[in-house]
Each structure stands twice: as C-alpha cells, then as structure tokens.
Structure 1
Amino acid sequence: MPRESGDASFLRRLNQVAVLRALHATESATLAELARATRVSRATAEAIMETLLREGQVEEFAPSATEGLRGRPARRFAFRGAVGHVAGVGIGAARLTVMVADLRGRIVAREQVSVPTDLSSAGRLDAIGTLVEQACAAAGIAVAALTAVGVGTTGVIDGEGRVVKSVVLADWTGVPLQAELARRLAVPVLVENDMRLAVLAEHWRGAARGRTDVMYLHTGSRIGLGLLLGGAPYRGSHAAAGELGGHPNSRWRTFQHVMDYAMAVDPGELRAPSQAALFALDRAREGDAGAARVVESFARSLAEALVTLVTPLDPELLVVGGSLAQAGEQLTEPIRVYLGEVCLYPPEVVVSELGADAVCLGAVRHALNEAERLLFASA
C-alpha cells in the first residue's frame, strides 16, 4: 500500500486549518461557501468537513421544515464552540472575577468574590485558584479541560508573567504570577497588565470595536492607561507602557480639586480620592454649581495629563472607564472640549461599554487568542 507523502499530509492539514478558520469566522456556512472561501474543491471541503465532524470541532444544522418544502437543502455547518473552553481572571484590590468562555467567546460561567485589600499574595493566589475551580464547575467542565487561562492584574508584568512592580496590591511585587497559577491550575496561564486587557476587551466587545488606535483611561481608585496601537495592545520596551508612575494611595495631583471640595463641604468625613470625586459628581448632578465647577476642573486636569500622549500618538478614540466613568458626559465632555482646543486631531471621547467587566473580558480574549493560535496551527 503506497504511503501518503509528507507533503500531501501537510497540504491536507493546511486545507483543514483553512476550512476550520473560515467556519470559525462566520456563524454558519455551506460546503459550497467554504470551498469558495478557502479555494479548495467542493469534494475536498466535504472530506475535510467529515473529519471535523468526527473530531467534534464542527456541527451540522438540521434542515428546518421550511427548507424541506423547497427540495433538498444544502448542508450547513457551524464551528462548535464547546469543543474547548478558556477562563479569564480579573484581579482587583478588593474583588476577584473569573469568567469561563467557549471557543466562540460565549461566556458560560462567571464567579466573583470580595477579598481583603491587604490579603497576602499566597492568600490571593489560593483565592484565585478556588474561584477558577468554582467557575469551571458552574460551566460543567474540569479545570484540566481549559485550553488556557488569561489573567489581568495591576502592575508591570514581565515576559514570564512575573509582577515586576505593583503599588496597588500588598505583597504583590516580585510574585511569579504565571508560574504560581500554572502550578495550582495545571493548565497554560498567560498574565498581562490589567489596563492593556481592558483596552483589548473594548476593542473586542466594547466601545472600540472596529478601531485600531485607541487609548483607554481608567478612572477610579487609581488612574491607569491602556494603549491599543495598530489593533494590538502596546506593551513598550519594558512592558510598562501606560503606567503613569507610582502614586501611593492614588494621590495624583488631578484629584486635588475634588478632595479640597469634599473637605470644605463635608469636613467630618475623610474620603479617599476616588470617593471625593464621586461625592463631587453626585453633588453636581443634584445641581450644586460649585461641585459642577470642581468636576469640570477635575476632568480638564485629566485631559491636560493626556494631551502629551494624545498629540504624539494620534489615537482615533479615547475610552473612559473605571468607577468614575459612571458620570458619563459630566466627565467626558470637559475632556472632549479640552482636547478639541489643543489637539490638531482630537480623538473621539466615549464612556466604556463594559464597565467593571473590562479587565476580566480582556483576560478571556487574551486566552482565546492563545487557544485560536493552537487551534489553527498548521503543524
């Protein structure tokens, strides 16, 4: 019996990957549509489809009753998302979030837990491991069945997934996060900075869909920045792009306006910077003219800090996220006006569509990128 040559086997694998990729990129397709999309014969597409059906990577639709009345319907197929799963982990100071998704990106389980802000690194790692197990159980799969786990955390993250520096989480600097979680979960783990994953999520499912050059401004207990350049998150030469410097307790000078206001109006209450900002925003919504002026000054201070990045990078869109983004136009309009005054090509300024889920969804997308790389590998 003649043996199939290595070249023929490789070509068959290339064609199979092409058909699978084409099917993954659409909701469903017929054999004729797949053959045209991949430039293979219909007979080749049919043979490949039978293989993919046996392997459980695709599924065939049963013809509807209406189609049956019009004669023999064309066979229609879809990529089977449940062939694999990934998990995304969002690590916050006071909250951990885990989402499990199939390979279509459909979220099939979500778990969240509050944790003490001063939790030790070992305690936080254990809590993450437990939460991933709970999310997988809710999705009806074993942790070992995950193709990859994406993780988003504050701080500078090196190429090995180690936290080089974190000024937000206690006992987090120096933690080999990727290695520790991979040891606990026994599946591939990919770790990235939370702001880069937030802008990735906005590009995937949020306000930045269809955009290629985007800034994501996080406004909350801290100020952070994520950059998407050419459609990909930008890391920088030291993986520190977007880090606006170490500001313990988030006492960045732009918060001074709202902190002074909160102290003057309600001196009996000691507020953190983000709490002072929310206090001023609430008062402004209630019609307090002084609060409205302070909020505008706060927003313009944010814009002044951004302009040194907006001017040289020329993004088409600025997405404002974080807890303060709930203010909507109260926050975005002064930023929009200031950038319009000083920038040759001011970006569009919008509020995040993903809210507090941005980092975890970005971690899911990060894991899906790895799963798709493996799925569509040619050899």
Structure 2
Amino acid sequence: MQVSGGDLQRLRQLNSLSSIRALREAPQPLTLTELATRTGLSRGSIGDVVTDLQSRGWIAEVRPAPGTMGRPARRYRFRADAGHVLGLDIGVHKVMAAITDLDGRVMASGRIAVDRNTSVADRLDAMTRAIGAALLAAGLPASDIWALAAGSVGVVDRSGRIARVEAVPDWAGVDLVGHLHEIFSCPVLVENDSKLAALAEQRLGVAAGVRDVVYLHVGRRPGAALIINGVLHHGFSGATGEVGLMDITRWRTMRGHLEQCAVARGVPEEEAAALVFAAARKGDRDALAAIDAYAADLALGTAAMVLTLDPELVVLGGGLSRSGDVLLDPLRRALEPHCLRPPEIRTSTLGEEGVVLGAACLAIDHLDQQFFSPEGEIAPPVAPQRTH
C-alpha cells in the first residue's frame, strides 16, 4: 500500500494533537518516555513531535530544579502562556474583565461597578474601562488577545445578539459583538451569563469532571443552565434553562419571601436576603420560614430540569449560594417530593468570578477547536480572523 504525502502530514498532525493533549492533561511536566507511554507513540516518533512542537512555540522544556544531581531526563510542558484570552462578565451590578492563559489561569482583571439603571452607553463604557484596566494590569496590548468571550444577562441567540432581557432596561438588541470588534480583531463570542457560570463550574469548580449538571443562579435575578454529556447546552435559540419565565414556577417573585420577611422590614431590597440568612443561622423562626418558602419555589423549576436531564449534580451559584449552609437543606427537602432520584446539590466555590471564568473557558474552547482539533491548524495565529 502506498502512503501519500498528505497521509503522512495527517499522521504527523494527529501525533502532535495527541502529544499536546497528553501534556495539557498531565498534572506535571513529562519526560519523552512518559509522553511516549501516554500517547502510544515510539520513542523516535515522540522525539520528532516534541522537536516540531517546541519550534512552533507550543511546548517548552522545563529546567531541572536547583540542586538536581546527575543528568535528569528532559521534561516538557504545554505552553499555556503562549497565548491569552479575555473573559467578560456584563452583569446588572458589575462589569468584570479577566485575562487568562490557555489553561484558564487568571493573569489580571478589571472591575467597574454599575447598576440596573446604568444607561446602555455607560454600561458599554464601563465594559471598555474594565477591559482597559485588565490589559494594563497584564501589560498586554489588545492585539495580544487571541479570543474573547462575554457573558451577558438575558437570552443570547446563536449570533451573539441579546434577544430578550428583563433585568436591564434597553439592553436587548445591543450589538456586543460589533462593539467589541471596535477594540479587538480576534474572534468574539457572546453567551448568557448563567450558562458561562455553569461552564466554569464544570471545568474549574465543584462540578469538575461531572458530565450532567443543572446549574442554578440564585439571587435577586434567578437563572439556570444545563451541562449535558460534558458540554454546555445552548439550545436552538439560546433559551435553555429559562424555566423562570413560566409564572407557575414563581421564580420571578420568590425573592419576595426574603424581602418581605419581618427581620428585613425597612431595609433596602438588595440587603434583605443577607439579613434573613443571618437571622436564620441564629434560629429566627420568621427567617427560617421565609427560606423554606423561597426554597419551595426554587424547587419547582429545578425539579422540571432535574426530571428532564436526570443530572448527577445540581450546583447552587449566584449571590445566595454564599448562604448555602442554610439554603441547601430546605432546597433538598423541597426537591425530594418532585424527583424520582433527588440529585446531589453542591454550592459554588467560584464566587463572583464564575461568569468571567466561564467566558474565558468558552474562548479557550474556541481556540482549541481552531488549533487542537483534527480539522484545526497547530500554529499560533499571526493575524486572528474575525468570527462571530
């Protein structure tokens, strides 16, 4: 059988892909022998692959630790610092930007406070300032960002347009992709913020490695998202997880149980929940009853998703997840009558960085598809192409 030049080139590409994957997944740098074992390639073949990837800038040799005796075997690592992505969280009360390496490690960030009544122009300006602060802190020009992803409140369609939003006036229809392309020439992606928070949990948080996840954003603005078979589920129009739009779930009004509780009377609505949860920790009966009522409403929409997906795990994220110590048990009790198999529930550990980290993960996924898929090109971009 004759082997064509194209076949050999394809074989070399697949060998390179398997080597990069092995180095990225390894908890520490690998020797050539260890890399050959993990990839199934011969010692000679792996040497050629490593030389090629090193010349392309994708991997680097790790120097021996000081004091190492003899001639230790050479070790290699994936160069996550070869490129950078930018994640954005455009929320109701803040705009946050974070620059990460290709493994999602945050290098620098910027944060600007906004509120529900911030105008569209001022919110976009806050986004630009947060980005500028992150770039300045990282010491990078905008041209060094290889991909950018933004998480926004509202339903985001496949083109990246915000199709519907209730939390921020006049935000629906804003052309985020176009605005960001005024600053960046790299690929720009836009997704719903709850979906990106779910992605961050599955990659970096309490759901790491879990294949089927229901993510709940619990706070003054509820939301939800699904991870199915390890992949963020966008849906046909981007409306997955929007069970709160059905009045029967009472998600739109459930925060009233906390804001109208006796212990929160006379305080601003945004401070009510913290007071109620603090009182519940001390055993206050009114506070405990308010949390039970809140959990009962939250359980209705959650049960609909649990019965549909049958997830291994439900993750509680958003502002109220910080009070998981008093919210988890009532939610478990409220879910149990509705579910054939009540899933495990865990609280997020990513805090307010969940959305921005999920955005960085989405940008990295885009680059992985561009460079590290069988259809991609294993070469850092010289001039990234614009895509939506």
Shared fold per TM-score greater than 0.5: yes
Cα 1:123/1:256, change in 2 over 3 Å: closer
* Structure 2 Cα separation of the partners of residues 251 and 49 of structure 1: 54
1:220-239 correspondence to structure 2 within 5 Å: 220-239=219-238
Confirm or deny that 1:11 pairs with 2:11. yes
Match of 2:35 in 1: 34
Aligned partners of 2:116 and 2:167 also within 8 Å: no
Aligned partners of 1:156 and 1:193 also within 8 Å: yes
Shift of 1:217: 1.1
* Structure 1 Cα separation of the partners of residues 371 and 73 of structure 2: 27
* Structure 2 Cα separation of the partners of residues 246 and 180 of structure 1: 32
Confirm or deny that 1:259 pairs with 2:259. yes
In structure 2, give the amino acid aligned to 1:58: I
Deviations 1:162-197 (A, max 9, x none): 111111122211112222212332221111111111
Match of 2:142 in 1: 143
1:143-162 correspondence to structure 2 within 5 Å: 143-162=142-161
1:344-359 correspondence to structure 2 within 5 Å: 344-359=340-355
Aligned partners of 2:200 and 2:361 also within 8 Å: yes
SS at match of 2:183: helix
Deviations 1:337-360 (A, max 9, x none): 222233221011121111211111
Aligned partners of 1:125 and 1:181 also within 8 Å: no
Which 10-residue stretch deviates more, 355-364 or 12-21?
12-21
* Structure 2 Cα separation of the partners of residues 325 and 214 of structure 1: 16
SS at match of 1:99: strand
Cα 1:113/1:329, change in 2 over 3 Å: same
For structure 1, the 5+ residue unaligned runs are none
1:249-328 correspondence to structure 2 within 5 Å: 252-262=252-262, 267=265, 269=266, 271-272=268-269, 275-328=271-324
Aligned partners of 2:150 and 2:191 also within 8 Å: yes
Shift of 1:329: 2.4
Aligned partners of 2:194 and 2:355 also within 8 Å: yes
Shift of 1:116: 4.0
Match of 2:384 in 1: none
Confirm or deny that 1:369 pairs with 2:368. no
Shift of 1:208: 0.8
* Structure 2 Cα separation of the partners of residues 10 and 328 of structure 1: 51
SS at match of 2:245: coil
Aligned partners of 1:167 and 1:246 also within 8 Å: no
What is the Cα-based RMSD across aligned positions, in Å? Answer: 2.2
1:167-178 correspondence to structure 2 within 5 Å: 167-178=166-177
SS at match of 1:160: coil
Aligned partners of 2:233 and 2:240 also within 8 Å: yes
Aligned partners of 1:92 and 1:154 also within 8 Å: yes
Shift of 1:198: 0.7
* Structure 1 Cα separation of the partners of residues 66 and 172 of structure 2: 61
Match of 1:99 in 2: 98
Aligned partners of 2:245 and 2:252 also within 8 Å: no
Match of 1:54 in 2: 55
Match of 1:25 in 2: 25
- How many residues are treated as equivalent by the alignment? 368
Aligned partners of 2:206 and 2:347 also within 8 Å: yes
Confirm or deny that 1:191 pairs with 2:187. no
* Structure 2 Cα separation of the partners of residues 77 and 266 of structure 1: 57
Which 10-residue stretch deviates more, 121-130 or 345-354?
121-130
Aligned partners of 1:202 and 1:352 also within 8 Å: yes
Which 10-residue stretch deviates more, 36-45 or 199-208?
36-45
SS at match of 2:261: helix
SS at match of 1:356: helix
* Structure 2 Cα separation of the partners of residues 335 and 15 of structure 1: 48
Deviations 1:197-248 (A, max 9, x none): 111111111111121111111111211111111111222222101122189x
Confirm or deny that 1:88 pairs with 2:84. no
Aligned partners of 1:277 and 1:295 also within 8 Å: no
Aligned partners of 1:132 and 1:143 also within 8 Å: no
TM-score, structure 1 normalization: 0.90
Cα 1:279/1:325, change in 2 over 3 Å: same
Aligned partners of 1:129 and 1:185 also within 8 Å: no
Cα 1:253/1:87, change in 2 over 3 Å: same
Shift of 1:16: 2.2
In structure 2, give the amino acid aligned to 1:289: R
* Structure 1 Cα separation of the partners of residues 323 and 124 of structure 2: 33
Which 10-residue stretch deviates more, 51-60 or 349-358?
51-60
* Structure 2 Cα separation of the partners of residues 195 and 228 of structure 1: 11
For structure 2, the 5+ residue unaligned runs are 378-388
Aligned partners of 2:87 and 2:357 also within 8 Å: yes
Aligned partners of 2:93 and 2:114 also within 8 Å: yes
Confirm or deny that 1:338 pairs with 2:334. yes
Match of 1:245 in 2: 245
* Structure 2 Cα separation of the partners of residues 131 and 261 of structure 1: 37
Match of 2:382 in 1: none
In structure 1, give the amino acid aligned to 2:303: V
* Structure 1 Cα separation of the partners of residues 292 and 220 of structure 2: 19
Shift of 1:305: 3.3
Cα 1:129/1:260, change in 2 over 3 Å: closer
